[in-house]
Amino acid sequence: MSLDAVQITALLDLKDRVIASGKDRILFLIILLLIGPGVTRGGEQVAEGDTKGIAVFESKIRPVLVQHCYKCHSVGAGKSEGGLLLDSRKTIRAGGDRGPAVVPGDSKSSLLLTAISHTDPDLKMPPKQERLPDTVINDIKSWIQAGAVDPRENEPTKGASPPVTLEAGRQFWSFQKPVTHPPPTTKNPSWAKRDLDHFILAKLDASGLAPSADAEPATLLRRLHFDLVGLPPSPPAVREFLQRVEADGLDMALAAEVDPLLASPHFGERWGRHWLDVARFAESSGKEANISFPYAWRYRDYVIDAVNADLPFDRFLVEQIAGDLLPSNGDVERARLLIATGFLALGPKNLEEGNPLQFEADMVDEQIDTVTRAVMANSVACARCHDHKFDPFSMQDYYALAGVFASTKTYFGTFVSPANRVGGDPLPLPRGANQPIFHASIPKERAASLKAQLAALKKEQADGMAAVLKAAAAGEDTEKIFTLRDALRIFWTSGGIEGQLEKVDESGQALPLAMGVLDREKIVDAPLMERGEVGRPGKPVPRGFPRVVEIEDSAKISADHSGRLEFARWLTHPDHPLTARVMTNRIWHHLLGAGFVRTVDNFGYSGERPSHPELLDHLAVRFMADGWSVK
C-alpha cells in the first residue's frame, strides 16, 4: 500500500494522539502497519544502523568483491559484463541480464553465490580461475542469509580510486589537519545566535531552505533534559522554568538550567554509556563460551566518573591506553589508572581457542581494531592479512602496531573450565582501591580449609592419573579406576576453589582486582604474518604507528617499553587530524541523531563525506582549544 505525504502526516498526527492518550493499542498497531515504524514526518524511511552487519561487510565481503569482481563489474573499471555492476548496494541487488546478484535473506536465489560456488557449469565466477575458498563462499552465504547489510549508499563515480598510497592518503580530507574557518556570510545573519549557527544557515541558504520556527520553551527544556541526563524534567521544574522565562527571557532561563544538568551524576550515566558502546563494554567474553568478566564493573564506573568529572578527553584516552605507564600520586590514583586500562582488556574473546598463539594474535587484532576505530574512525585491523584495499594502511602499519600490543599483557580475569580453555588472571590493584559489598572477605579459618581442600583434590587427581597409567600399562580397564565423572568433579571443584582463593590474600582478606593491562617483561617486535596466519611468520616489524599521519615531534618508542604511552600521545597530539574530529562528530551524532559524518566509525574512503566539513573542523579545533572538555 502506497501513501502520499499528506496521508502519512495525518496518520503520524493520529499516532501521536494515540500515544499521548495511552489508549486503543489495536488502532496504534494498525497505524504502524500502514506507515511503517521508521517513517518520519518528512516521509523518509529511516534505516536502522547495523554495526555488526556493516563490520561483516567491510571485513569479509567488500574486499572479496574488490579483489575478484570489480575488474569486470564496476563503474570504476568501466565494465559491466552481463549487464552486472557490483560496486553499489543498488546495482548488486538489481543484478544483470540473468537476474539479481543478491537477494537479501535468500542465498538460493542469489546468483552471486551460485556463480562463486560453481554449482552451475554455465555460470562460474571469477572466470578462468579456481573456485574461491570455502571460507569465503560460506562468508558470502552467511552475509546474504543475514540480510546482506551493505552500507554503500552513494553511487560509485567513474574513475574514482581509493587513496591506498601514503601520498594519496595524506590528501584525503580526514587525514588533513582540521583548521578554523571563519563563519560564512548568510542571507539572514540576524537569525544566528552563535558562530555555528552561521554555518548551519549557510547550508540552508545553499539548499534553498529556511530555518524551522523556534520550539516552545517547554519543548526546549524537555530536549535539554533528555540530551544531557536522559530524563524528562519534572512538572514543578517545568513550571519554575516557564516562570523564569517570563521574568528573565528564554536565553537566561536556558542558561540557568545547563550547569545543574552538567553537574548531575546522571550526565555521566547518560553520556558515559556512549563511550562504553565504543569500548565494546560487556560483562562477559561473548562467543560460544560467553564466560563472565567479574571485574568489568570497575571500568564502567571509571568511565562514568571520568565523564562526570569532565576529565579532558585527551587525558581520558591516554589513561585508557597507557594508564599503567603514567606516574601516580598514591594508591588510589594508581588503582584508578590501572582500572582505566580495562578499555584494552574488554571485548569478545574466543576462550575455546586451543592454540595460544592464535588466541594472542586474535586478542591483539581486536585491540588494534577497537583503538583505531574508536579514536580514528578507521580500522587498521583490516590490514592484518593484506594491505588495506581502500585506505592508506599497509600490513607494515598493522604489524608495527601489533608489536605494541603484543608487548602488553592483558589481564581479563577468567578461570579455566571445560568451556574455557584460556584462563586470564585478574589485575591486582593497590590496597587503596574500593571494594564492592559482594566481594566479601573469607574468614581466615575458611581460607585455610579451602587451601586444604584444593591440595587434596590436586593429590587425588595426581594419584588417579598415576593409577590410570599403571592400569593401562597392565592392560586393565581404566574406566573402573578413574571415570570421566571423577575427572570433571575434580576439575570443576578445584576451579571453583581456586576462583575463591584468587580473590583473597593469605589472611582471607578480599583483594582488589580489575581488568587491565601491563607491559610485558619481554618487549617484542611482531613478525609480519603472511596472510595473517600465525603459522607463517616473517621478518619482525619495528614497533610504530600508521605512517599516513605524520607528526614531527611525536615521541619515539623506547626499547624497554611497549610503546602504548607513545601511541596514546601520538593519538592525542594537537596535530593529529582525526582524534578531535572523530569525538566532535560522535557528540553531534548523539545530540542530533546523525553526525556530520553519518558513518561515525568510518572516516575512511568507504565512509560518507561530512555534510558540513567547515563546521566539523571549526568545532574540532575549538574542542582542543577548550582543553578537550566534553561538557
Output the pLDDT for position 39. Answer: 44
328 and 421 inside one domain? yes
Task: Please write the tens of the pLDDT for every residue from 115-146.
Answer: 999 988 888 888 877 889 988 999 999 999 99
* Residue, of 401 and 414, whose pLDDT is higher: 401
Report strand pairing: 527-529 vs 537-540: antiparallel
How many CB atoms sit inside 10 A of residue 60's CB? 16
Residue range 279-303, pLDDT digits in tens: 999 998 888 778 888 899 999 999 9
Task: Give residue 507's pLDDT.
Answer: 54
Same domain, 226 and 370: no
Within a domain: residue 475?
yes
Torsion angles phi and psi, residue 170, rounded to 5? -70, -15
Among 153, 162, 173, which Cα is nearest to 613's?
A: 173
- Is the pLDDT confidence value at 8 over 70? no
What pLDDT, on a 0 to 100 scale, did the predictor assign at position 393?
A: 95
Q: Kindly tell me if the per-residue pLDDT of 481 is higher than 80.
A: no
Domain assignment present for 285: yes
With 50 as the cut, is the pLDDT of residue 631 above it? yes
Domain presence at residue 279: yes
Q: What per-residue confidence (pLDDT) applies to 29?
A: 52
**Residues 424 and 502 both lie in one domain:** no
Domain boundary among 160, 190, 208: 160
Asked whether residue 421 is domain-assigned, the answer is yes
Helix/strand/coil (H, E, C) string of 240-304?
A: HHHHHHHHHCHHHHHHHHHHHHHHCHHHHHHHHHHHHHHCCCCCECCCCCCCECCCHHHHHHHHH
C-alpha cell at 69: 569482481
459 vs 425, more confident: 425
Rounded CA separation 22/279 (Å): 37
The better pLDDT of the pair 610, 480 is held by 610
Cis peptide before 126 (omega within 30 of 0): yes
**What confidence score (pLDDT) does residue 75 get?**
77
Note the pLDDT tens digit of each residue in 14-61. 544 444 444 454 554 555 555 454 444 333 333 444 677 888 888 889
**Helices in 475-631 by DSSP H: which ranges?**
484-502, 564-571, 579-592, 613-625
Residue 285 and residue 256 share a domain: no
286 and 308, same domain (yes or no): yes
How many structural domains is the chain composed of? 5
Domain-ending residue, one of 549, 571, 593: 571
Beta bridge partner(s), residue 182:
none
Q: Let me know whether 361 and 419 are in one domain.
A: yes
What pLDDT is attached to residue 485? 46
Evaluate if residue 458 carries a pLDDT over 70: no
Q: Provide the pLDDT for residue 121.
A: 84
In a domain, 106, yes or no: yes
Q: Are 162 and 389 in contact (CB under 8 A)?
A: yes
Specify the pLDDT at position 482. Answer: 45
The dihedral sign for the CA sequence 514, 520, 524, 530: negative
pLDDT at residue 418, as a whole number: 52
Q: What is the DSSP string of 553-572?
A: TPPPPPTTS-SHHHHHHHHT
Asked whether residue 506 is assigned to any structural domain, the reply reads yes
Q: How far is CA 569 from CA 316, 317, 345, 483, in A?
A: 11, 9, 20, 56
Quote the pLDDT of residue 453: 66
Same domain, 481 and 526: no
Residue 124 has a pLDDT of 87
Question: In the predicted model, what is the mean pLDDT of residues 440-466?
Answer: 61
- In this prediction, residue 452 carries a pLDDT of 72
| Domain annotation covers residue 174 | no
pLDDT of residue 450: 59
Q: State the average pLDDT over residues 443-462.
A: 63
Can you tell me the mean pLDDT for 556-576? 95
Cα separation, 618 vs 558, in Å, equals 35
39 and 71 co-located in one domain: no
Both 142 and 80 in one domain: the answer is: yes
- Helix, strand, coil tally for the chain in percent (to 5): 50, 5, 45
Domain that holds residue 19: 1-46
Distance between alpha carbon 432 and the CA centroid of its chain, in Å?
Answer: 31
- Count Cβ atoms below 10 Å from residue 59 Cβ, excluding itself: 16
**Predicted pLDDT at 281:** 95
Which of 480, 511, 542 lies at the terminal end of a domain, its last residue?
A: 511
Residue 198 lies in a domain: no
- Regarding whether 297 and 232 lie in a shared domain, the answer is no
**What pLDDT, on the 0 to 100 scale, is given for residue 178?**
96
If asked whether residues 111 and 2 sit together in one domain, one would say no
Residue 525 has pLDDT above 80, yes or no: yes
Most confident of 40-49, 437-446, 480-489, 529-538: 529-538
- Whether residues 256 and 293 share a domain: the answer is no
Between helix 217-229 and helix 265-278 the angle, nearest 10°, is 60
354: pLDDT confidence band, cut at 50, 70 and 90?
confident
What average pLDDT does range 191-198 have in this prediction?
Answer: 89
pLDDT tens figures, 211-259: 989 999 999 999 999 999 999 999 999 999 999 999 999 999 999 999 9
pLDDT > 90? residue 601: yes
pLDDT of 12 higher than 80 = no
C-alpha cell at 254: 536556558
The mean of the pLDDT values for the chain is 83
For 486-506, what is each residue's pLDDT tens digit?
Answer: 544 544 454 555 555 555 555
Residue 507: closest CA among 448, 449, 439:
448
CB 562 within 8 A of CB 407: yes
Q: What is the pLDDT of residue 19?
A: 44
How many CB atoms are closer than 10 A to CB 483?
A: 12
